[in-house]
Amino acid sequence: MSEDNVIGSGSSGKVYKVVLSSGAVVAVKKLWRETKNGIGIVGSEKDEFDVEVGTLGKIRHKNIVRLWCCWNSGDSRLLVYEYMPNGNLTDMSKSNKKSLLDWPTRYKIAIDAAEGLSYMHHGIVPSIVHRDVKSSNILLDSEFGAKVADFGVAKIVNGTSQGAESMSVIAGSYGYIAPEYAYTLRVNEKSDIYSFGVVILELVTERPPNHADYGKNDLVKWVSSLLEQKGMDHVIDPALDSTYREEISKVLSVRFLCTNVLPINRSAMWWVVKMLREAATVPRS
């Protein structure tokens, strides 16, 4: 675990690519430890290490990253995951591999991520709310299969809107947070659904969730305004093959199911998966 092998870094720690003596490759996340005067302290919410281990320990799904093992000894807190060679969706879209993200690949990523979230919301009891759905938390394997990752702020809920929990610490990332969270600090599966709608817009437009071009708006409001004023051709990433225009249009319309201002009007993730699958218009080989 040297600096040469760092493949990611965030507010919670660094991620390293590690080759084991067997030749197997894994991703190791070393968590920061919050300290006060050099002594480890526990925050107001459950420790991220415990949350990640407790959450991923309950999940086995092809579209959720696999946690192999963990290590907690003093200041060394490590989480060992399966290695995803194509990194995360955000980094991929900014790298020299960006051209590999053609529409069929983006479409597959959208469905894969939606199925992972749908399993969390509907496939296990009690259900799990991710609370930080964003493109950098969607990892890509060697075949560009997508898996949802980073469960450090996830919460177990009752599986319905009545199971919402009020949080003392803001979770989520700017540009992805559902509008109601700002004044209620309550989260349920509807919060994840809104964030996933932003990811759909990123896949279709190839634009970030926040940018100076949007003025005081975010990507959701910018797209809505541009669609109304100039039409879909000014929203879709011009690099995408026009052969898929109808399919892209249908996927873009799915975002309405996710980003409605009123949480009650957002569709459940199982329905979002269904609508995405039905959007296919071009046969795949």
Digit-coded pLDDT (tens) for 138-149: 999 999 999 999
Q: Which candidate, 175, 194, 181, 82, places its Cα nearest to that of 136?
A: 175
Q: Which candidate, 160, 163, 170, 161, places its Cα nearest to that of 131?
A: 170
Gap between the Cα atoms of 222 and 211, Å rounded: 10
| pLDDT 10s digits, 49-84 | 787 787 777 788 999 999 898 888 767 788 899 999
- Asked if residue 166 has pLDDT above 90, the reply is no
Cis peptide before 126 (omega within 30 of 0): yes
Residue 33's pLDDT is 67
Residue ranges and CATH numbers for the domains of the chain are 3-82 (3.30.200.20), 89-278 (1.10.510.10)
- Asked if residue 44 has pLDDT above 60, the reply is no
- Asked if residue 34 has pLDDT above 70, the reply is no
Check residues 98 and 260 and name the one with the higher pLDDT: 260
Residue 151's pLDDT is 81
- Asked if residue 42 has pLDDT above 50, the reply is no
Report residue 272 as tokens.
């979002």
Q: Which candidate, 174, 127, 170, 164, places its Cα nearest to that of 263?
A: 164
Where does 98-154 have alpha helices with state H?
103-118
Most confident of 8-17, 64-73, 147-156, 180-189: 64-73
- Asked if residue 133 has pLDDT above 50, the reply is yes
- Asked if residue 107 has pLDDT above 70, the reply is yes
Check residues 161 and 156 and name the one with the higher pLDDT: 156
The catalytic site residues sit at 132
273 neighbors 111 (Cβ within 8 angstroms): yes
Gap between the Cα atoms of 48 and 40, Å rounded: 13
| pLDDT 10s digits, 192-225 | 999 999 999 999 999 999 999 898 899 999 999 9
- Asked if residue 88 has pLDDT above 90, the reply is yes
